[in-house]
A = this chain, B = another copy of it.
Amino acid sequence: MLSEFDLIKQYFVRPARAPQLQSRVQLGIGDDCALLGIAPGQSFAISSDMLVEGRHFFAGEDPRRLGHKSLAVNLSDLAAMGARPAGFTLALALPAADRDWLAGFSAGLFALADAHDCELIGGDTTKGPLNICITVFGEVVPGQALRRDAARPGDDIWISGTLGDARLALAGMRGEVALAPDAQRQAEARLHLPAPRVALGRLLAENGLARAAIDISDGLVGDLDHILERSGVGATLDIDALPAGPVLATCDIALRRNYAAAGGDDYELCFTAAPEQRAAILAAGAASGTPVTRVGRIDASPGLQLTDGQGAPLELRLAGFDHFGSQ
């Protein structure tokens, strides 16, 4: 039987690596607390996400993909703040200490962590229904952080990457839509292996290009609404300007509009910026290898108006995701 200490030692404590130039970790796994330093003038951006089997992922999900996604959704929160990843804690409840599962999970987790120089600094393991709770720490100059309450009337609304393929994959898995096997696989990659937009978020924050930002986890319309509410503004969104994922782009217009606007699980950034920043934002997108698309504008009057490609008002029945709702 694998003990708790052996489990941590074998799968989560790694041999000392070449010291990272920017590492802030002063004391890692193995004490009562980790110690994380910070550069002068910076604050810690902190976010926590909990993933539950049967709610956020299906039972039997591939552990490597799950390791990736568990960290990715947290890094996406740092990206939406414009923060540089510094470290994370992992608390893990497992039904059993399964070696294959642990090897896969930790491999997926560390591959993404290493890609972002984000070190595992501590956490907890226990027996229980499968539950993965990650808390992530990033560095940001507080005045540069991309807050939800910073949108202003006249701002452009931008989206990174593409929307809707993750939701389409879920629909295919549930039998709600029928996709060709290749298309289903392609869409599922978006669902299981989201790419947090950390590089873009940092460029937007550190160069003062964007005002407000949020990451799109529950569907664009619902998430944008958080910006509107906290900023005390409204918005007009051109549904047909939304960048549909490559698989969703082959579907009919009703599905395309619905999943792009309210699909969920996209982990793209929605951000607002002054119109004079358009060229700089396109350049930041290019520099970070992240497509960026302008999809609407912030209005002074409250409420969210949806329009089609011709600017005509649209009424769509859309709903974001609520963990305690009926969905």
Which of A81, A129, A323, A325 has the most CB atoms of chain B within a 10 A radius of its CB? A323
Chain B neighbourhood of A122, CB < 8 A: 46-48
Is B142 within 8 A of A50, CB to CB? Answer: no
A84 to chain B, nearest CB (A): 12
Determine if A49 is an interface residue (Cβ-Cβ < 8 Å).
yes
Give A110 to B7 CA distance when docked, in angstroms.
Answer: 34
User: Which residues of A in the span 1-44 have a Cβ within 8 Å of any Cβ on B?
Assistant: 1-5, 7, 26-27, 30-38, 40, 43-44
A89 to chain B, nearest CB (A): 4
* Segment among A51-59, A61-69, A181-189, A297-305 that sits at the interface with chain B: A51-59
* Segment among A133-141, A167-175, A233-241, A274-282 that sits at the interface with chain B: A133-141
* Segment among A91-99, A242-250, A253-261, A310-318 that sits at the interface with chain B: A91-99
Determine if A125 is an interface residue (Cβ-Cβ < 8 Å).
yes
Determine if A60 is an interface residue (Cβ-Cβ < 8 Å).
no
Give A146 to B33 CA distance when docked, in angstroms.
Answer: 10
Give A125 to B56 CA distance when docked, in angstroms.
Answer: 12
Determine if A147 is an interface residue (Cβ-Cβ < 8 Å).
yes
Is B147 within 8 A of A31, CB to CB? Answer: yes
Is A36 within 8 A of B44, CB to CB? Answer: yes
Is B47 within 8 A of A32, CB to CB? Answer: yes
A145 to chain B, nearest CB (A): 6
Is B32 within 8 A of A1, CB to CB? Answer: no
Contact partner of A126 (CB less than 8 A), chosen from B1, B215, B323, is B323
A75 to chain B, nearest CB (A): 11
Instruction: Give the copy number.
Output: 2
Is B38 within 8 A of A44, CB to CB? Answer: yes
Give A127 to B4 CA distance when docked, in angstroms.
Answer: 26
Chain B neighbourhood of A83, CB < 8 A: 33
Is A145 within 8 A of B35, CB to CB? Answer: yes
Is B127 within 8 A of A128, CB to CB? Answer: no
Contact partner of A36 (CB less than 8 A), chosen from B26, B33, B46, B81, is B46
Determine if A80 is an interface residue (Cβ-Cβ < 8 Å).
yes
The answer to whether A34 and B27 touch (CB under 8 A), given A40-B40, A52-B93, A133-B91, is no
Determine if A198 is an interface residue (Cβ-Cβ < 8 Å).
no
Chain B neighbourhood of A54, CB < 8 A: 128
Determine if A124 is an interface residue (Cβ-Cβ < 8 Å).
yes
Chain B neighbourhood of A1, CB < 8 A: 324-326
- 6 nearest A-B residue pairs (beta carbon): A52-B128, A133-B133, A33-B45, A50-B91, A32-B80, A135-B135
Residues in chain A within 8 A of chain B (CB atoms): 1-5, 7, 26-27, 30-38, 40, 43-50, 52-56, 77-78, 80-81, 83, 87, 89-93, 96-97, 121-129, 131, 133, 135, 137-138, 140, 142, 145-149, 213-215, 230, 322-326
| Known contacts A27-B145, A34-B46, A40-B40, then 12 further A-B pairs from the complex at CB < 8 Å, ordered by chain A residue | A30-B230, A31-B230, A33-B138, A34-B45, A35-B81, A35-B140, A38-B44, A48-B135, A50-B92, A52-B127, A127-B324, A131-B131
**Chain A to chain B contacts (Cβ below 8 Å), 6 pairs:** A32-B47, A34-B45, A35-B43, A38-B43, A48-B91, A48-B124
